Amino acid sequence: MNEVLKAITERRSIRKYLPDAVPAPLLESVLAAGRAAPSGMNAQGWHFLVFEGAALAALRKVAGDELGYGAPAFIVVSYSADPRSFNPGSDCANAIMCMMLAAHSLGLGSCWINNLTRRREDPEIDTFLRGAGLPLGQTVHGSLALGYPAEAPAAKPQAKNSVTFAKLP
């Protein structure tokens, strides 16, 4: 099987992580994959706010200790209201998926986290994220827990009948 298809089919959402920090070169490779994602009209309106160490501990004090399942790195993915992009949330989703596949290919685990997305209008969360570096005009779309996996979950059943080939009437 080709390496891309292998990464797609073998990648799993990881919810248990080893405490080891993600080395900077691997983290940079994951972020580069996010920046390489396709975006509508090539708007690239996303922004990646990376938390590690003390900054991540502070985020967990505000958002809850369970945030990111204990992963040693956490990436908040946001978007701007760029008029060229009619669906910036989809652009962010592409970036997150590219980062998840890159992480898997580098021996890292990841999990898409929506906690901050649901709470993005909470004044305490917003103030904290802005103070940590989230630019004005950016809206949180999702986050990514990232680290070395402490588990190897089995594949879950895939939805059946999720594809229909169109037929002419």
Q: For 9-26, what is each residue's pLDDT tens digit?
A: 999 999 999 999 999 999
- Computed over every residue of the chain, the mean pLDDT equals 94
Question: What pLDDT, on the 0 to 100 scale, is given for residue 71?
Answer: 98
All residues at 6 or more sequence positions from 155 whose CB lies less than 8 Å from its CB, including other chains:
12
Report the alpha-carbon distance of residue 161 to residue 163 in Å, rounded. Answer: 6
Give the architecture (CATH level 2) of 22-147.
3-Layer(aba) Sandwich (3.40)
Q: Residue 9 carries which side chain, given as an amino acid letter?
A: T
Q: How far apart are CA 92 and CA 132, in angstroms?
A: 20
Query: What is the per-residue pLDDT for 75?
Result: 99
Res. 156 pLDDT band, cuts 50 70 90: confident
Predicted confidence at residue 51, as pLDDT, reads 99
81 pLDDT higher than 80: no
Domain boundaries defined on the chain: 22-147
Which residues partner with 21 through β-bridges? Answer: none
pLDDT for the residue 111: 98
DSSP 3-state helix, strand, coil percentages of the chain (rounded to 5)? 40, 20, 40
Mean pLDDT within 115-124: 88
In the block, residue with structure tokens 């009619």: 86
When pLDDT is cut at 50, 70 and 90, the band that residue 34 belongs to is very high
